[in-house]
Structure 1
Amino acid sequence: MRTVTFGMNISLDGYCDHNLFSPDEEVMEYFTSTMDGVDLYFFGRVMYELMFPYWDDVAKDQSGSPSENEFARRFSAIDRVVVSRSLEVNDPKARVIRSNPVEELSKLKQQPGKNISVDSVSMLPDFIAAGLIDEFKLVVHPGLAGNGRLLLPPGSLTEKLDLKLTEKIHFKSGSVALHYVKQ
């Protein structure tokens, strides 16, 4: 069975809008390392549109910093599933599903392959409730956002989920990478 990991940037007050953060070289290298062993990304429409075609373009023209270029090269090479009722994509690495993301992720988890990385805040409560998320890799940034999208809205979980911290990395920027697994 494949391992499903949820990864996200987050502020100290629990907000996870990617536009709030500007990861430095060290944090970008960390995110690149999280792709080791991943052969599939599972996106919601919003996150997919935030990430693509931006990172594909950086991979093609090498327009970022050295760490951004390496992230883009590796990130763009990984297959992806996108959940959307309306999005049409012209992306040879992407497959769009229109409904039942919990059922689809459950099927993918049972198939042979490497790890699956989930990058969708909107579907996270449903994935947690279905027991599909095995690991959480959060990078906590040293700042308070005060608004935006919360990682988990109040009342979105029906049961408490106990996690075990397996790794903690401190970055010079003050950000901290936290790796948790289900107990």
Structure 2
Amino acid sequence: MRPVTFGMNISIDGYCDHTAFNPSEELYDYFTGMMDDVDLLFFGRIMYQLMFPYWADIAKDQSGTADENRFAEKLTSIDKVVISRSLDSVQENTRIVRSNPAEELLKLKQQPGKKISVDSVSMLPELITAGLIDEFNLVVHPVIVGKGRLLLDVGSLHENLNLKLVNTIIFKSGCVAHHYLKQ
């Protein structure tokens, strides 16, 4: 089975508000490198709309920094699935699935290929409960936000999920990347 990885930027207090973070060149390099092992991105609608068309425009126009442009090119080149009941259209190499995210991810996990990267906070509890997330890559930013979307809402999991820390990277910016595997 293909491994499924979940990656997210979070604040020290557990919020996932991307507008509160200022990624460094090192972080763009880190996330771009992580995508070398990924051949499918699995989004919820909200995260998809945060990412596209923004990154597709940067890839097309080369309007970011060199690191942002490389990230944008890599991100847009990978096939995507977006779970949405309301989206009418998506960027190229993207497919809309209307329901049953856990069922769809299980089907995709059983197909040959590289890793599947899940980028959706809203579906995370369902996918964890279904046992579909194999590894977690969390980048903790040195900021306390106090508002926004939490990584997990209180009570969204019925059981603890025990993880094994396999790697930690400390960036010059003070961000810390934690890589965990499901035990």
TM class, shorter-length: over 0.9
Structure 2 partner of 1:112:
112
Q: How does 1:1-183 map to 2 (within 5 A)?
A: 1-183=1-183
Structure 1: stretches of 5+ with no match in the other structure: none
Question: Which amino acid in the other structure matches residue 150 of structure 2?
Answer: L
Question: Which amino acid in the other structure matches residue 60 of structure 2?
Answer: K
- TM-score w.r.t. structure 2 length? 0.98
Report how far residue 37 of structure 1 moved. Answer: 1.3
Q: Provide the C-alpha distance between the structure 2 equivalents of 1:119 and 1:86, rounded to a whole number of angstroms.
A: 18
Q: Provide the C-alpha distance between the structure 2 equivalents of 1:60 and 1:166, rounded to a whole number of angstroms.
A: 36
Deviation per residue, 1:52-96 (Å, 9 max, x gap): 011111111111111101000111000000000010124221100
- Report the 3-state secondary structure (helix = DSSP H, G, I; strand = E; otherwise coil) of the residue aligned with 2:43: strand
Question: Which amino acid in the other structure matches residue 74 of structure 1?
Answer: K
Deviation per residue, 1:88-108 (Å, 9 max, x gap): 124221100100011000110
Q: Provide the C-alpha distance between the structure 2 equivalents of 1:138 and 1:59, rounded to a whole number of angstroms.
A: 25
For the aligned residue pairs, the C-alpha RMSD in angstroms reads 0.7
Aligned length: 183
Structure 2: stretches of 5+ with no match in the other structure: none
Aligned-residue sequence identity (percent) comes to 67
Q: Provide the C-alpha distance between the structure 2 equivalents of 1:91 and 1:64, rounded to a whole number of angstroms.
A: 19
- TM-score w.r.t. structure 1 length? 0.98
Q: Provide the C-alpha distance between the structure 2 equivalents of 1:13 and 1:140, rounded to a whole number of angstroms.
A: 9
Report how far residue 154 of structure 1 moved. Answer: 0.6
Q: Provide the C-alpha distance between the structure 1 equivalents of 2:104 and 2:147, rounded to a whole number of angstroms.
A: 31
Report how far residue 18 of structure 1 moved. Answer: 1.3
Report how far residue 15 of structure 1 moved. Answer: 0.2
Question: Which amino acid in the other structure matches residue 162 of structure 1?
Answer: N
Report how far residue 20 of structure 1 moved. Answer: 1.4
Report how far residue 21 of structure 1 moved. Answer: 0.9
Q: Provide the C-alpha distance between the structure 2 equivalents of 1:157 and 1:33, rounded to a whole number of angstroms.
A: 31
